[in-house]
Structures are given as structure tokens and as C-alpha cells.
Amino acid sequence: MRMLIVSSAFLALASAFLLYGLNYETRRIEANLQMLERAADKAKTDIAILKAERAHLARPERIEPLARTYGLVPAGRNQLAATGDEDSAGGR
Amino acid sequence: MRPQMRAGEIRTAAASDAASLSAGEGRREAGRGSPRSGLMALSVALAFVAVGGQSIRLALRGQDEPTTSMSQAVPTSFARPDIVDRNGRLLASDVEMPSLYADPALVLDRDEVAEKLARVLPELDEAEVRRLLADRSRRFVWLRRGLSPKLAQAVHDLGLPGLAFRRELKRAYPAGALAGHLIGAVNVDNRGLAGIERHLDESGSVEPVHGATLSGRAPLRTSLDLGAQHALDEELKAAMRRYDAKGAAGVVMDAVTGEVVAAQSLPGADPARVADLMDDSRQDKLTGSVFELGSIVKMATVAMAIDGGQTTADSVRDVRQPLQAGRFTIRDLHPAGRPLTVAEIFIRSSNVGAGMLALEAGADRQRAFFERLGLITPIRTESGPVAAPLLPAHWNTIETITLSYGHGMALAPMQFAAAAAGLVNGGTRVTPTLLRKLPGEAARGERMVSPETSRVMRDLMRRNVTDAAGTGRRAAAAGYRVGGKTGTAELPVKGGYRQNAVISSFLGAFPMEAPRYVALVMLFEPKPTREAQGHVTAGNNAAPTAARLIERIAPILGVMPAGAPEPVDDGTTVVDPGDGPAATFEAPVDAGVAGFDGVGDAKY
């Protein structure tokens, strides 16, 4: 009888510790999850902004004068050839 | 707790019951026998209850979301998918931006707030801020939506109580005003107002969100090609400078699927500025207004004559005498002085000839044929309804004649470009669309004219550019077989037409033997500059602009140059009188009474 009581008291105590341990672990994981979610949100926002900025920098209005300073011009008809048509592609 | 305790008692009682069969008093003796162990059992039981309770609590709590939202329950913004061009280049995207709001109840000194804010945000109206902050019963007023992070920090640094930020989604247009009319605009809540933006709302792609949650939907792929769009924009701007025009518009459309690969109307509209959309002078000339298009409509007249079997391209009409209809006289500005074939009527753009062909067909057939081309019924694109055609109130002899060369009826240029695409693509109807069609999705439209009529039209349009007397000679693009039709329409004013104030246009297709694209170039009120050889006619301004445009965009669109070298007009030839103002200089002045006062008024 005594053994039963003592062991069950021990069991109760042990499971209580386990439970509180789990509780804190859960909270920690939750906090971590929130942090990761925030980081993911932030990353998504940053990606959206960077994407928009890249598109803005790559807009043709800006690229064209830059390309022209390097001596580049729009592709002309002499630069196009169908497969098997390479000889005549030189144009006039 | 109670049931357990009682159960414990009963169990101990049962044990002692088995040990001795004494009376009820004995049983009570046994139960009370060890008060300590009873107490222990009780406390252990309590501990288990506590553990059980806690685990149930945790189990229940674990079921709802681990994160809790602090934002209010009503949606604060609308997440929109990106808009991209046909090759995936970004045209519009949501970005997160801080918006400034105030809680008037927490503001200590509203004069101080208004003054300090106005210093940091100069465009903020100080009086308006005072007014907003005056009502302390309101707990939330927007002061400024969509601040840059730098400005938000500056406001934050003021350290004023009652001011706070909320992160919101704002639309960004990286390409600027390049395709403003097509993209449209959104309001301050990120809801679409016009253009493709409104199409997104109407097609249910926009989701209400809390705070600033970006849309997870796939981007909307438009039919536009950013490179071609830029080339069109540049060429139109250059043409406006070269010919000192008040406005310009152009569209390049897939001749079969109706996909609009480039469309621009100048002066343009910046999608980031809603005010541009309301500005009448910036109205989209391609879909938002209707114009008398002039001689390019002869495409429809000649197609009608040929498709009905009424005539062939080689049959001859005597166009030497001006056409009489009641008290109106229709004559050509530069009469040929000899009878012309139907082909020559088209190539030399004879008003008298077109009028004769229309009279042979009659008003009913003309109307039915225009209906078949889709010129009578209003159309719509994804960006909304296209301005409805303005038709003559009475369709009598004089109207039949003037309609044959594009006067007395006002059309949205986009609508006519689609009809022209149908005339050259083998004869099937084309519906303009702003969305990209995948190869499998683009079914051919219903039949409009016979394949043979379409072939003849392609031939005539090509000859208009190659023929020595063709009005479109200057549209010959180096390396590409271009064909088309010029049109110079006088601008109507009250009671008649304005002399020398014209809309000149060139409607062409390339490569002409099997057109892949249809291109329409329009110049509004071009001046007779030196570059235009002192003329305002389409053959001298719109046609060369189309040539430059096609030379530039054909490689972008992957159209192969023609194998054989083309005869290229070097621009030094003397202006042939036959090249003349095509349609319209004289006839419309007489015909201006046809009930069209003010229609197609210069909207720029």
C-alpha cells in the first residue's frame, strides 16, 4: 500500500515536471515559429520590393540610352536568320 | 476531484470487506484505520488531477493557431497579383509601405502635430490635418497613405503621441508611363479603377487581406511585349517631334489571335497617377475615343465590292467626273484623268472610285458588310468597353458615299484595326485582347470574308506600298514586306471640317504574304514640316513612321526579314501628286453636313 502511494506520488511528480518541461518547450517552439514567420514575411516583402526595383532599373527607357553608350543598337534584320538560311542572312 | 476521493474510499472499504466480515462499524474502523495513508492517497490523487488538468489545458490550447493577430478584423487592404508582359517582365506589383494614421483622442496638441507634420511632409495640408484631428470621438483617421520608409522614419522621429503607422500594400509600376492606358490604375485601397487593374478586380483575382499580406496568386500575363511597347512609344514620340503633331497613337496586334503586343496613346498616362486617367487630354485614343478614320476605311469598301462578287480588282470605273449626290459633290483632290481599275482606286485612294463602289453595293449591303466586319456593334477588351461607334442617323445615298472613304462614321481605332486584321489574315474575325493566348487557346474566329478576298486585299495593300503611284510608298520598311493603306481625315468642327487639321494614319500588316501582325499608326494634327515634305498627308508622315516602327519591332517580335532585297524608298523622290491627301481634302468639306458636327472632336 505504502509502496503504491509512494510510487504513484513519484509518478505524479515526474509527470508534472515532464509536463511543465513540455509546456516551456512548446512556448519556446511557438516563439521560434513566430520569429520564423515574421522573417518569412519580411523576406517576402523584401523580395517584392527588390523585384519591383529590379524591374524599374531594367525598364527599357533606362536601358536603351545605357546600351547605346556601349555602341549597342536594336537588333536589325541582318541579325536574323532562319535555320538553313545562314548564307543569305548577311543582307545587302 | 470528489469522485476520485470517493472511489478511493470505496476501494479501501472493499479490501477490508474481503478481510473481515464484520458489521458496518467494523468497516468504518478499517476506513479510518490509517488516516495518513488516506491523506497520502488523496494528495497523490490531487496531483494526478492537477497533471491531467494541465495536459488537457495544453492539449486544448495547442489546437488553435499558435500566432495571434493584433490587427482589426475588417480587411484593411487588397492584395493584387502581379501584372507581367508576355515574356514575364514585371509591369505592376504590390509592395508594402507604411501608412500614417492618428488617434485624435491621444493627440495632445493638434496644432503642434499639424505644424511638425507639415514640416516633414510638405505636401500635407495643414488645415486638413487640424480638421481631422479636431474630432476626438474618432479613434482612427488616415493622415497619409503610402509613405516611403525614409519619410516614415522622419515622422517617427518627431515623437508625437497619437501618431502611428500601419503597413499597407501599395501598387508599384516599374515601367512607369510606358503602358499606362492599358494597365489602368488603382485607388488608395488598392482596388482597380481602370484598365487591366480593373479586370483583375472583376475577375476575382484580388483578395481582401489584413495588414500587408502579399497575394499568393500567379501573375497575370498580358499580351504586351515590353520591348515592342517601348519601341512603339519611342517611335511615336519621335514622330510627334518630327511632324510637330499634337498627339499620336499606335497599336500592334497579332493578325490572327488579336493579342495586342503594343499599344500606346500619347500624351500618355502614368498608372501611378490616377489624375492622368481623369485628364481628357490624356484619354486613350485607341479605345477611349472615336474618330472619323478617313481613307483607311476604303479597305472595307474595296473588300465589300470584291467579296460580294460585285467586281474584281481589275475591272475599270470611270472616276473622271466628280460624284454628284443631291447638292453634294465628291471629287478627288488629284484626279487621275483616266478611268481607274478597282485596284488603282485603292492604291491611289480615289474618293470618287470608293463612292462609286459603295453606290453599286447600296446602303443595305454596305451596312450589312460593316456589321460583318464588326464595325457597327460596340466591342470590349479586358480593360473595359471600347468607345461605341458613332453611326450616321440616316443611311442614305450621301452617307453611303462618305462612309466608303471613312467619313460620316466615327470609330475607335482599336475596333477598326481588329477588322483590318480580319481582312488580311485569311478572312476570320479578330477580337482584340490584352491577355496572352497560349498557342492552343487561340482558335480562329468566325469567317468574315472569303480567303480569296483576303488574298486580294493583301495584294492591294502590298501594291499600295510598292506601286509608284501608291499612297503608302514611304511605308516600305527595309527588309520587311509591308503593306497597308494611308488615311488622312480632316478633323470635324461645328458646321464642317478644319482645313489642314488632320488625323493621318497608316494601317499596315507585315509580312504581307502571310501577315503575323497588323500595325496602326495615327498622328493627330501633324504640321507640314520639312521632314514631311511640307505636307500633312499620311503618306508623308504616318507611312514613314510605320516603316521605322516595323523595322524596329519586327526583329523583337521574331518576324523573319524577307529573303529578297526590297525596293526601298530613300525619301528623295519627288512627291507624286497621286500620293495626295488621299481621301479627304475636298469631299468631307462638302459632306460635313452629313450630321456629324463635333463628332471625333480633337480630344487632345
First-residue to last-residue Cα distance in chain A: 110
Nearest one of B389, B314, B401 to B586, comparing CA atoms: B401
20-59 in chain B: CB under 8 A from chain A: 37, 40-41, 43-44, 47-48, 50-51, 54-55, 58
Q: Check A12 against B47: CB less than 8 A apart.
A: yes
Three-state SS at A10: helix
pLDDT in tens, B206-243: 888 877 778 888 899 999 999 999 999 999 999 999 99
How confident is the model at residue B71, as a pLDDT? 47
B141 min Cα distance to partner chain A (Å): 25
The fold for domain B77-221 equals Penicillin-binding protein 2a (Domain 2) (3.90.1310)
| SS3 label, residue B223 | coil
Q: What average pLDDT does this structure show over B324-350?
A: 85
More confident residue, B578 or B155: B155
Of B51, B67, B178, the CB nearest to A37: B67
Of B93, B289, B295, B350, catalytic? B295
Topology (CATH) of B227-591? Beta-lactamase (3.40.710)
| For testing contact with chain A, the best of B230, B481, B516, B568 (most A CBs within 10 A) | B230
- The predicted model gives B132-149 an average pLDDT of 84
The three grid cell numbers given for residue B15, joined into one nine-digit string = 479490501
The DSSP 8-state label assigned to residue B38 in this structure reads H
Domain ranges within chain A, ordered by starting residue: 8-70
Half-sphere exposure of B221 (CA within 13 A, CB side): 8
Give the pLDDT score at A84: 58
- Of B47-56, B224-233, B480-489, the poorest mean pLDDT is in B47-56
Preceding peptide of B267 cis, ω within 30°:
yes
Burial of B406 (C-beta count, 10 Å sphere; 0-12/13-18/19+): buried
Q: Are strands B483-493 and B517-524 parallel, antiparallel or unpaired?
A: unpaired
B246 has pLDDT over 60: yes
Which of B463, B472, B430, B433 has the alpha carbon at shortest distance from B449?
A: B430
Residue boundaries of the structural domains of chain B: 2-50, 77-221, 227-591
Interface predicted TM-score (ipTM) of this complex, two decimals: 0.74
B71 interface with A at CB cutoff 8 Å: no
Is B295 annotated as catalytic?
Answer: yes
The average pLDDT across B76-91 equals 89
